[in-house]
Structure formats: structure tokens, C-alpha cells
Amino acid sequence: MRALVVDDSRATRTIIGSMLKEIGFQVFEAAHGREALDFLKRTGPTDVMLVDWNMPEMNGYDLLCAVRATPAYQYVPLMMVTSETGVSQMAKALQAGANEYIMKPFTKEEIVLKLGLMGIAI
């Protein structure tokens, strides 16, 4: 299973990546949405994407919209992983096609639970 972690914080990418590796994922990283789209164009879709909301160059919401608008990636399970705690932000992401939404800080168990809710067997 391949996961793409998209976050402008290297520390956050490392933390999420470590959690995912512990449960058997091959992890790839991108620092912003444009980098993530470039990765997808080069390698094809991953099995799951975990995406931060607030990033430079292309934020997570715009990345979500771009992914859902691209036939090759539109069905990739995508979880917003963010410090945005507003209900309106969550609703906006879910309406745009996010499969799940998790707020920072979180635990590995919470990530595993959300992946299960997305139908990803660990």
C-alpha cells in the first residue's frame, strides 16, 4: 500500500509517515499541493492521501479539488489532516470530496480508525 503525505511541515510529514510505515505503508511525501500533483503525474495514484489544509503554493483544499477533478485520481481515498477545527471547514472539505477529516493533534490509533472508515484494510 502506498500513501502520499502532503504537509508543509517536515516534522508533521515525518510523524505521519512513521505512523503509516508502522502499519505497513510505503510512504511518499510532498511539501505542498503542486508538489503532490507532480508526484501523482509521475507515479500514478496512491492508495491513500493524507493532506494538510494550510500550505504554500497550493493549499490542501485546492489540491483536493484538483484531485477530484482529475479522472485518474478522482477515486483515491483522501483524508484531510489539519489544525482547521471549524465545522464549516470540515463540511467544505467533505463536500469537495474528502473521505475523512482528522484534526491535529492525533494518535496512530485515530489514523488507523479513520483509514478503516475509508475502507482501507490494515
User: Which CATH number belongs to the domain containing residue 37 in this structure?
Assistant: 3.40.50.2300
> Measured between alpha carbons, how far is residue 25 from residues 14, 19, 61, 103 in Å?
13, 9, 24, 21
Is residue 21 in some structural domain? yes
Residue type, 104: K
Give the domain range for residue 109: 2-117
pLDDT in tens, 104-118: 899 999 999 999 999
Is residue 74 in some structural domain? yes
Give the total number of structural domains in the chain: 1
Is residue 52 in some structural domain? yes
Is residue 122 in some structural domain? no
pTM for this model (two decimals):
0.96
Is residue 17 in some structural domain? yes
pLDDT in tens, 26-82: 999 999 999 999 999 999 999 999 999 999 999 999 999 999 999 999 999 999 998
121, with CB counted inside 10 A (0-12, 13-18, 19+), is: exposed
Question: C-alpha angle 6/78/53, rounded to 5°?
Answer: 45
Is residue 102 in some structural domain? yes
